[in-house]
Amino acid sequence: MKKATIDTRDVSWQELRAFPGTAQVKMLRDEPSGGARTMLIRVPPAGQIVPHNHMAPVQHYVLEGEYETGGETCSAGTYRFLPADANVGPIATKGGVTILMVYDPIG
């Protein structure tokens, strides 16, 4: 990937289609050759992302709001690392949440 500086305020929210559920995404990095992605995920109040699986490690950093998953509450400031092939349980939020997600497959 080439050097990039992105003002996320200039990137519009799109319907999240990569994962099942109710959410929006701002794609910041998408490298088709290696599958690496960096994105902002916004789940609205009472929204959720249903259980799914990632083939490579995934990192979440909660920017605002909070969500619940697997009996844990992840609020603003929480970092979460999921190893390759981790089953991701439902991600549910009562008041809404915005997450920075980094997906970096290792070749």
76 C-beta neighbours (distance < 10 Å), count: 12
User: Could you tell me how far CA 45 lies from the centroid of its own chain?
Assistant: 16
pLDDT of residue 104: 83
Mean pLDDT of 87-96: 91
d(CA 6, CA 78): 23
pLDDT of residue 1: 67
pLDDT of residue 20: 72
pLDDT of residue 98: 98
Mean pLDDT of 74-89: 91
Average pLDDT of the chain to the nearest whole number:
90
Name the band, by pLDDT with cuts 50, 70 and 90, for residue 4: confident
d(CA 83, CA 106): 11
Q: What is the pLDDT of residues 22-49, one digit of tens each?
A: 899 999 998 877 778 899 999 999 999 8
d(CA 79, CA 29): 19
SS3 7: coil
